[in-house]
A and B are shown apart, each in its own frame.
Chain A
């Protein structure tokens, strides 16, 4: 018997070793395109490690001070088709609204309304006025530079220029003096000029990042609620109207016709007094909001106005969200009516809606190369609110139109506490329990999203209205932690610094170079896309 067992054991070991080796073929080479520059790794640079990890590519050596000086060749030629553009007065540029134009011999820089067409938009790729946004992998000449493949942010409405702009991981963190020639310095050694941070304190960058630029905490919060959010001072920026153009470009000559208007913020900064030109639809309440917001008349001591715009969300204009629950539109009145989770989206829109922004956050949220998402921006998330009614004179009442969040992941959307299934068309989510205190608890905490590296948990944060769980902007993003994620773990305390860094303020570990790590964050909610779903043979968890 013992001899037989030994024979079986040896045979099994041979089988397992062979099977493991079968999956170990390492690729011969690997390339990565960064700002149009191809970085290549040869076969000798791959490391074949033990059976548990297989082949892997060493950490790419990307020059932290990498700056592209390549001037793109825009060619010579003609745009021949007719397309609709929206003129964006903030960037003083145009946004392409249709696709399919003829690209033969395009001639840019001499075409467009007001002289602002700066790149070859392809298939819906948004183009702005040459403010360092890579277009089809080509950096635009005006502010042509980038960092680690991430677009340099738009300089925003005060686009008269700055002597120096400091960028870290694609985030605009400091500006120099306006009025001089524009120079972008993309460097990891970022100097800070903000009030809250010492320029030598590199650790601060890992926390607030671009959200702390210039004014630190006061970029978003105010320690004293000194009338800024008083009901007698309407919470609205001084807004102006931008035009929506229909532009025809024929033989390189563009003519435009105004077909509509939309609101855009003119100037107001974080410490500027309001100068409302329109009657606000919403001001902060003078009394409490309820337990979840601490009964505060100004939850989170917020230092900005709330948007007045009603936004279409992911499922467009439907009256009910038939797939994920929730609502199809959101605006600040939801907060008044007691739907408190929505505040975790509304606050973000104070800056990330370019109709409200005081920080020039007008660059697109996504940059693509040949239709492929290559970089994320830091600013504009929404499309502007379009004025649908009659445009009134300054000081008169104007109806706010609808903006759009339809191009973003659902926000203020119901998360199925039971994991979903039928109600979500077959999608499965990790099960949760909405708590009365506004928190939400995941039922299963054993989510080893990154291999067997430990109990990764569920870094995504859901919000409870007491009975239901909701997904908001800050379910995925933690505005206080740019690169160092922290989330509640199984002990009720926080996991900090484990499993790697993050980016884009994502709440969990996130890598733009390792898809398994980045997918792990998505899978911490989307159970049916996770390895655990397979390991559990599809059983709900």
Chain B
């Protein structure tokens, strides 16, 4: 039998021909397969493996250990876990959202929050109370303009606000900083020329040059061009109804309000994960590299379409045009 280099769960022979590398916690991180030798029986396979991986000389053992270590590091690098290295005041997950070294408190407050309740996320920043026009051509059910003033109800005792719309708040919070025309923004007067800071246009009233936010995502049965989504118990779930699981997964998060699913800023961006995140792919969780706080696996140099088509089914190769994808 001639074994071939391969990945994935192997059969009995594969198991005999591989070297499993594990990290300190015992987690499997890399599998090395014996590549080209012909193996006729178990003793021979054992002999080949010994020849391949465990030569008798001490020097070779050391080289193998070093090589294995480098492969482990390389595997970690590919998963994005290299970003977990700690440097003072450079948080591996928050990235620039670790603003001024404040960590979690750059956005959240353990006391004295500005938004109350479970939909308020212990928000510690002020929110601009004004109206924004949004880009929403052809997508009914959204809110245009988006008026953050109507979003919030003030608590007469604490002075803080309670969001009226559990979806819209996931856009409004972002504007605390990324509307740099807002005097309460920590980035005020810093970001008009910096696209990482400024999302709202220079007059501070328009979001319509951005991907639609606070727009309804068409639910199952109402569209043929998006992946099928069902809302159950306040949670929106991509169903992959046809059974052909989209291998990349559906990392985007839809926010539910009044049994409808909405696209908000937080649908594409996870503010807690700058360069590395965990997504579900092919039915299981996996750590992947990302960029720009994108919720899914994202490479700035290649295959950027994967994240987009994880919602826009009609732009994917898996689309069948029937609306049951």
Interface residues of A (CB under 8 A from B): 1-2, 5-6, 8-9, 12-13, 15-16, 19, 23, 32-33, 52-57, 84, 95-100, 122-126, 314-316, 321-324, 364-366, 368, 370-373, 376, 381, 383-384, 386, 402-404, 406-409, 425-426, 446, 450-453, 476, 511-519, 522, 528-531, 533-539
Contact = CB atoms under 8 A, between A and B. Distances in A.
Contacts of A516: 86-92, 98, 103
Interface string B244-282: 000000000000000000000000000011001110000
Contact of B188 (A370, A512, A517, A518): A370
A445 B325 CA distance: 43
B184 A407 contact: no
Nearest to A24: B87
Contacts of A365: 111-112
A55 B235 CA distance: 42
B125 interface: yes
B185 interface: yes
Contacts of A539: 285
Given A99-B126, A406-B116, A511-B101, 9 more contacts: A366-B109, A366-B112, A368-B126, A370-B188, A373-B125, A516-B89, A531-B92, A534-B93, A534-B278
B218 interface: no
A12 B98 CA distance: 33
B92 A373 contact: no
A512 B77 CA distance: 30
B184 to A, nearest CB: 3
Nearest to B117: A316
Interface stretch (B11-19, B42-50, B158-166, B298-306): B158-166
A444 B247 CA distance: 31
B111 A376 contact: yes
A534 B289 CA distance: 10
B102 A373 contact: yes
B103 A517 contact: yes
Interface string B37-60: 000000000000000000100011
Given A54-B90, A99-B129, A537-B287, A403 B157 contact: yes
A386 B157 contact: yes
Max count, chain B CB within 10 A of own CB: residue among A9, A122, A403, A533: A533
Given A19-B77, A126-B159, A451-B86, A407 B116 contact: yes
A97 B158 CA distance: 8
B158 A372 contact: no
B49 to A, nearest CB: 14
A406 B117 contact: yes
Interface of B: 25, 27, 55, 59-60, 63-64, 66-67, 70, 73-74, 77, 79-82, 84-94, 98-106, 109-114, 116-118, 122, 124-127, 129, 149, 154-162, 176, 183-186, 188, 235, 272-273, 276-278, 285-287
Nearest to B97: A515
Nearest to A514: B89
B158 A404 contact: yes
Contact of A404 (B79, B80, B155): B155
Contact of A407 (B55, B66, B111): B111
A473 B59 CA distance: 58
A366 B111 contact: yes
Contacts of B85: 52-54, 451
B158 A383 contact: yes
A314 B118 contact: yes
A15 B75 CA distance: 13
B111 A408 contact: yes
A537 B278 contact: yes
A321 B117 CA distance: 10
Max count, chain A CB within 10 A of own CB: residue among B104, B111, B129, B149: B111
B186 A97 contact: no
A386 B154 CA distance: 16
A531 B73 contact: no
B25 A538 contact: no
B279 to A, nearest CB: 8
Nearest to A122: B184
8 contacts: A372-B106, A373-B109, A450-B86, A515-B101, A516-B86, A522-B103, A534-B93, A534-B273
Contact of B160 (A16, A403, A407, A512): A407
B113 A518 contact: no
A124 B126 CA distance: 8
